[in-house]
Chains A and B, each alone.
Chain A
Amino acid sequence: MQETPLAFAKGAVPVAAQPLVRLTGLSKEYNGVPAVYPADLSFQDGDFLAILGPSGCGKTTLLRMLGGFVAPSAGRIEIDGRDVTGLPPEKRPTNMVFQGYGLFPHMTVRQNIGYGLRLQGVARAEVDARVEDMIRLTRMEAFADRPPARLSGGQQQRVALARALIMRPKVLLLDEPFAALDLKLRQALQEELRALHAQMGGTFVFVTHDQTEAMALANRIVVMNRGRVEQIGSAEDIYLRPASRFVATFVGEANLLPGTRAGGTVTRPGADCLRVVRCRRQGRSRPAPGTGAAWGCGRRLRASLHRPGRGPHVPGRAGAIPAGAWRVPSCRAFRRCGPRSGAGCRGRLECRRSLGGRGMSDIRPSLWRDPALMTPAAAVLGLLFIAPLVWFFVVSFWEVKLFKVVPGVSLSNYARVAADYLGPIAFTAAISAAIAVVTTVLAFVVAHLIWTRAGLLGAFLLGATLLTLFGGYLVKIYAWRTILGREGIINSSLVGLGVIDQPIDALLYSPTAVALVLTSYLLPFAILPLYGALRAIDPVSLEAARDLGASPYAVLRDGVLPLCVPALITSFALCFLVTAGDYVTPRLVGGTQVLMMGNFIESQFGLRMNVPLGAAMTFTTLVTSTAVIIAAWAGLRHLLRAK
């Protein structure tokens, strides 16, 4: 064996046996968790290959590695003798029909089918001719100028097929091609696909979890389970001669009897009252040589009963046990289980489910997924937001002496804030919290109405919200001045109607006026996040709650509100921060009566010109605001969890 000349080893492979596709040790891991164990697989030109397995078994990952959408962790892919392992999808001689099709919605059927050829720079006349051919072949003549959105599922499937086939791929890959179709259509399209294969030749590889589909279409079937290839063979092979317990149970019904194997028979342990003579499946017996733990398997088991010391109960003739009667649901000890047995095995399966699986692409970051694209945005964030804030923070430790700013590290500004501004900070926090709470509650009422009233009312409220959202900050404040002012609408109308003699000054220039104006201004900003959160709630779960006897109020309290906590906090935080940092509203409608932190901070940049002190005030206010918001969050969560 060892002296076999190298030349012979090479020459021994006849040209005809050169496989079209050869996978060597191909495997895929996600973060150290294997999705596909090293697999060796090769198939010939003209094969119609099915990769069959339950969901999460790694079959789609295998297919996507073939297409170039998933980069293998190890191993090699050769197509037609060429190593394509490192090639991106566009450079591979494969084309794929995706699950969900991936048709281009902005192109007609004709444009979809011709897309690949146009990219190759094929002459227009030839593109048109080949597209016509494909349209005729897939019988899409009547729909050729429609966009995909106006096609039925089966028609979309045909377009996806035509779009891939027109490229004349060496290997056509199909990912669960019929999964989204109903039974009748599936059968019809399976028939069409088989006819296409017979007519056009070529190599088709498709992934399916449907055993009958695999059996009906493929001449070779690869059965996968938990990332491993369990068996490769014809439909007959895997059905009649399953290589493992998994294959036996996954492909067709099977009776399983645990026992020990000796020669051609499997003996049931324990009482020794049952001896499985042969495992049978549709008349062909599977010999079970060797000894050890084993399973007897078959649709109809031929078994004979033995009583200890008395010989066969029914000598010479085996009775048939109907299918299902002896099905053993689970048992951990099965043959060649090895390190995959038991809990470890199960744990790995669960891990694989969370890997992302279908539709995942991990091809090298291409142009528009390259993290470098974030550079401009990161630069804006870093240079125009983070750097200024950090710098501002540094400045807050500087001092102003004799009208000159002296850099250094001094806490004198913070000391001054603590000494002189605790009152305004508390007042600002209190009025901001009050405004934020009232605004959030009112906003929830409106958001809930928009959400529950689908008709005219909801549309009207949403429209009003969206329009006022962009309705101008200063203009809104100004409008309130004209309403509440001494010569404003309320006063002059009341005087005009003779209700009062003198205009009421107190309408404007009070904390109430500031609160009123800010609430009105902030409402649309608070409504939107709440409406977004409400829309994300699954209405069925609420109907279920009603069905189980919950009152509308209970549904709101136990279902809706807890789900809205993040949005409620967002609204609260937004209103709080805007109010705490505002100086325009207090100035315009609060006059000299209402001085909030915004006014004090702003004055350090205007009249008083003490930037370090202003910075210290800013950060004190920001820290206070953050503390209030976190406290509100904790409080709200506690409030809604207690119920």
Chain B
Amino acid sequence: MMRHFTTGLGLIITAFMTLPLLLVILFSFGTSVVMTFPIPGFTLDWYRALLARDEFAGALRNSLVITASVGLGATAIGTLAAMVIARMRPRRSATAMFLFGLPMMMPPLVLALAILAFFSTIGMKLSLATVILAHLTFTLPFVILIVSARLRDLNPAMADSARDLGASPFTVFRTVTFPLIRPTLFGAALIAMSLSLDDFIITFFLIGGGNTLPTLVWGMLRTGIDPQVNALGTLILLFTIGTAAVALRLTRFRG
């Protein structure tokens, strides 16, 4: 009895969490402007209209530039740090993780405004580069967390035996460590990318001019109900969920 009750409750909560997204996808293919059931018919018109918009190509390009740079940058920087953190004693690594994790806990608005105030003081002009730099702050902790967990899983006797057999520290990394953590690195990069792609608040304050996909959504939201948003939302979902799903598979994420 209790068992069925909790199962039911869990399913309701999960539906509460996922249904809105499913509706967006569903209605992006619906013909009616107003969202209502039953759906009168199905069409790809909203996608065609979206692709025909002037801002869309620029927003897509900006999003891709930012996402790719953040993915590469955060993974490279985060992996270097993870290599040190993974070898720390538990106390110290917990402290390091706490420090590097702080930006993850900070509301994006605070992060955006503090960086904005700082950049304008030091005279840094807003551009895609400022967005990329700001995105590094909150994507880094994810990379460090994922990569250091994997590095900690590696049997230390492996690196030791490579050294013992004549490998220099760099050779150990090239021939043993890197091949073993490669999928994890790829996964961490994809997670950083999907977080970056999804960010609206920080991007909005720091981009200066131009659009990314989320800021384009924001602009369209203010003009009232527009089913093109459904189409754009579905595309963003496809992007973020797609990369995230591949990433989770690669990092063998299980909680």
Contacts and interface: CB of A to CB of B under 8 A. Distances in A.
A114 to B, nearest CB: 10
Interface string A619-638: 00010000000000000000
A391 B163 contact: no
Nearest to A619: B110
B110 A618 contact: yes
A88 interface: yes
B165 A116 contact: yes
A90 B161 contact: no
Interface in B22-69: 23-24, 27, 34-37
B207 interface: no
Contacts, number: 308
Nearest to A521: B17
Nearest to B182: A106
Interface string B1-31: 0000011011101101110110110010000
A154 interface: no
A102 B155 contact: yes
Contact of B16 (A361, A363, A493, A520): A520
B17 A524 contact: yes
Interface in A41-97: 67-69, 88-90, 94-96
A468 B255 contact: no
Contact of B161 (A163, A389, A453, A577): A163
A1 interface: no
B168 A90 contact: yes
Nearest to A522: B17
Contacts of A376: 76-77, 80-81
B72 interface: no
B81 A482 contact: no
Interface in B142-174: 144, 155-173
A625 B25 CA distance: 36
B84 A392 contact: no
B100 interface: yes
B47 to A, nearest CB: 15
Interface string A430-460: 0000000000001001101110010001001
A13 interface: no
Contact of B218 (A374, A474, A535): A474
Given A377-B80, A385-B137, A618-B110, A445 B10 contact: yes
Nearest to A377: B81
Contacts of A466: 244-245, 248, 253
Interface in B188-243: 194-195, 198-201, 205, 214, 217-218, 221, 225, 229-230, 233, 236-237, 240-241, 243
Instruction: Find the residue from B17, B77, B119 having the highest chain A CB count within 10 A.
Output: B17
Interface stretch (A274-282, A333-341, A484-492): A484-492
Contacts of A89: 160, 163-164
A478 B221 contact: yes
Interface stretch (A203-211, A247-255, A364-372): A364-372
Instruction: Find the residue from B177, B241, B245 having the highest chain A CB count within 10 A.
Output: B241
Nearest to B243: A470
Chain A facing B: main interface SS: helix
A54 B108 CA distance: 55
A119 interface: yes
A361 B102 CA distance: 31
B253 A371 contact: no
Interface string A534-561: 0100000000000000000000000000
Contact of A449 (B10, B176, B233): B10
Given A367-B170, A492-B34, A577 B106 contact: yes
A470 B244 contact: yes
B241 to A, nearest CB: 5
- State which size class the interface on A falls in: 35 or more
Interface residues of B, number: 104
A357 to B, nearest CB: 13
A471 B241 contact: yes
Nearest to A366: B169
Given A472-B233, A492-B34, A581 B164 contact: no
Contact of A483 (B14, B23, B115, B195): B23
B123 interface: no
Nearest to A378: B81
Nearest to B163: A89
Interface in B85-128: 85, 87, 96, 99-100, 102-103, 105-111, 113-119, 121
A479 B233 contact: yes
Nearest to B248: A466
Contacts of B245: 466-467
A363 B156 CA distance: 13
A106 B17 CA distance: 40
22 contacts: A67-B164, A90-B168, A96-B161, A119-B165, A361-B160, A367-B170, A368-B173, A369-B87, A374-B84, A380-B136, A467-B18, A470-B241, A480-B20, A488-B35, A489-B23, A496-B36, A528-B255, A532-B255, A581-B106, A583-B201, A584-B201, A618-B114
Given A391-B118, A473-B200, 4 more contacts: A376-B76, A457-B10, A470-B240, A489-B37
What 8 A-B pairs have minimum CB-CB distances, sorted nearest first? Answer: A581-B107, A102-B157, A366-B169, A116-B165, A479-B20, A377-B81, A388-B118, A492-B36
Interface of A: 67-69, 88-90, 94-96, 98-106, 115-116, 119-120, 160, 163-164, 167, 359, 361, 363, 366-371, 373-374, 376-378, 380-381, 384-385, 387-389, 391-392, 395, 442, 445-446, 448-450, 453, 457, 460-462, 464-476, 478-483, 485, 487-489, 492-493, 496, 519-520, 523-524, 528, 531-532, 535, 573-574, 577-578, 580-584, 588, 598, 601-602, 605, 611, 614-615, 618, 622
